[in-house]
Amino acid sequence: METYKKEFIEFLLDCNALKFGDFTLKSGRKSPFFVNLGSFVTGTQLHKLAVFYAQAIHDRFGTDFDVLFGPAYKGIPLAVATTIAMQELYGIDVRYCSNRKEIKDHGDTGILLGSKLNDGDRVVMIEDVTTSGKSMEETVPIVRSQADVTIVGLMVSLNRNERGKGMKTALKEVSELYGFPTAAIVSMPEVVEYLTETGRLDAEMKAKIDAYYEEYGAKEA
């Protein structure tokens, strides 16, 4: 496993962003693990998280894009912080954009926060975790309705590697449905592998995770 993935897993654990227990997800599934990037609340934590995202975006999608789009709400600070990290690491000055949950009808009107989208913009989507793909169902139509843009790809922190609406991962389904690549900094199977190797995942929790993937695990060729 690449060093940066191990470092990211340690970072998730150190900041209590990766938890094990009993959780009900937005999709309604009962999961023995949960990732909450809302746990990153200090300047140091957000900066480090943004650096991980920027490196992953650079490695997967390059730097030929104009806008980082973060879906409301958790995607907003991710987009803001990562635009800063992109400038720090690679010297590129991309814009950030996010959506509002409701259309604003006064002052700075419209559905968008931050930069407006322009025809010809190349957009990278960024969010925390995609479990079912529901958030992309809401935000991709918004992005494409604002201007004639090209979505370069979607970057998330963790690929849960569980099925979306069918038998493939939600990330794979998003990619096939909307026609752009998707990627993650690390996958949950990699997290399980690393924690098992380092002796920090007990047999009971490992069994719960295995049972969860028996029910919800993606099956891709």
Catalytic residues: 104, 106
Spatial CA neighbour of 98 closest among 85, 88, 83, 86: 83
Spatial CA neighbour of 55 closest among 151, 161, 143, 126: 126
Which residues on neighbouring strands pair with residue 31, listed in sequence order? 23
Hey, what are 137's tokens? Answer: 């169902």
Spatial CA neighbour of 201 closest among 32, 5, 25, 38: 32
CA distance 109 to 24: 35
CA dist list (Å): 119 to 14, 55, 116, 125, 156: 42, 27, 10, 16, 25
